[in-house]
Structure formats: structure tokens, C-alpha cells
């Protein structure tokens, strides 16, 4: 609790100025947080607010996961629910390097792959088109 704050001033929902420790670079970061926040919560807020390279990378990965989750839900709403859930559940493990890449074969023609490249987290849909032969006979 900040020294200038009195307990009666700490209304529910009010944020106070405090300090947390970034889990990436271990620097102290000035933040605003609820007065009853635990040290673990303060450190998480500080890690999200820190300007260190690892903190920025983590925020970018979280943003990528959120954006791709939305894209999967929007673009592939006609896909079977189990396939969509499988794709979404694989985003974080691929983003954080726990899995190299994941491919989900939705049907005989459609495969969706999640992978990480130097550009970040990627989603690629491949649709295999069957060769269609026109039959022609001289009659």
C-alpha cells in the first residue's frame, strides 16, 4: 500500500501506484494495481508493462494468439467445432515453441497448418482441388 494512502481511501475498484518486478528482466516497474493485489499479480502486471525485449516479445505472441483465435472463429465458422477447437488449443504451444507446427486435416480437401516463422505465428489453409476431367466423345 502506498504510504500516502489511508485504508478508508482504498475504495473497491480503485487503483494505486505501486511497484512490481518484471519476470523477464527482473527490473522494478512502476504500475497501477488494486490495493489488495498479491505480489504475484503485481509482478505479472509489471511484466506486461515492462519495455524489455522479452516483455515486448511475449506481448506480441499473446496478440498473435488472440488475433489468430478470432480469425479461426470468423473465417472457419463452417468448420466442424472439434476442428476449430483443436486449432485454437494448438496456438499457444506453437507460439511458445512447445510444438514446431500443427496440421489439422479438416476434410479430404482442406488442411490448416499453424506454424511459427521469423514473421511470427502463421496460419495457412491449403485446399486440394481434385483433377476434374471432362469426358468427350465424338457421337
7 located within any domain: no
Same domain, 47 and 66: no
What pLDDT is stored for residue 20 in this prediction? Answer: 95
11 located within any domain: no
Phi, psi for residue 87 in degrees, rounded to 5: -60, -50
Same domain, 41 and 102: no
Same domain, 47 and 60: no
Walk along the chain (139 residues) and give the pLDDT tens digit of each residue. 444 555 555 556 789 999 999 999 999 999 999 999 999 999 999 999 999 999 998 898 899 899 999 999 998 888 888 888 999 999 999 998 999 999 988 888 888 899 988 888 888 988 887 655 555 555 4
Structural domain count, the chain:
2
Same domain, 66 and 92: yes
Same domain, 78 and 34: no
The C-alpha cell at 100 is 514446431
Q: For the chain, how far is it from start to end, CA to CA, in angstroms?
A: 93
Q: Which residues of 36-71 are buried (b: 16+ CB within 10 A; e: fewer)?
A: ebeeeebbbbbbbebeeeebeebeebeebbeebbee
Amino acid at each position: 500500500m502506498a504510504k500516502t494512502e489511508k485504508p478508508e481511501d482504498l475504495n473497491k475498484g480503485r487503483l494505486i501506484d505501486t511497484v512490481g518486478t518484471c519476470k523477464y528482466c527482473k527490473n522494478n516497474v512502476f504500475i497501477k494495481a488494486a490495493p489488495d493485489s498479491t505480489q504475484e499479480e503485481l509482478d505479472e502486471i509489471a511484466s506486461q508493462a515492462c519495455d524489455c525485449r522479452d516483455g515486448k516479445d511475449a506481448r506480441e505472441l499473446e496478440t498473435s494468439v488472440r488475433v489468430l483465435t478470432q480469425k479461426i472463429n470468423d473465417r472457419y465458422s463452417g468448420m466442424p467445432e472439434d476442428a476449430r477447437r483443436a486449432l485454437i488449443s494448438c496456438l499457444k504451444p506453437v507460439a511458445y515453441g512447445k510444438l514446431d507446427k500443427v496440421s489439422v486435416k479438416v476434410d479430404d480437401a482442406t488442411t490448416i497448418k499453424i506454424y511459427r516463422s521469423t514473421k511470427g505465428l502463421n496460419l495457412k489453409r491449403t485446399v486440394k482441388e481434385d483433377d476434374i476431367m471432362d469426358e468427350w466423345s465424338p457421337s
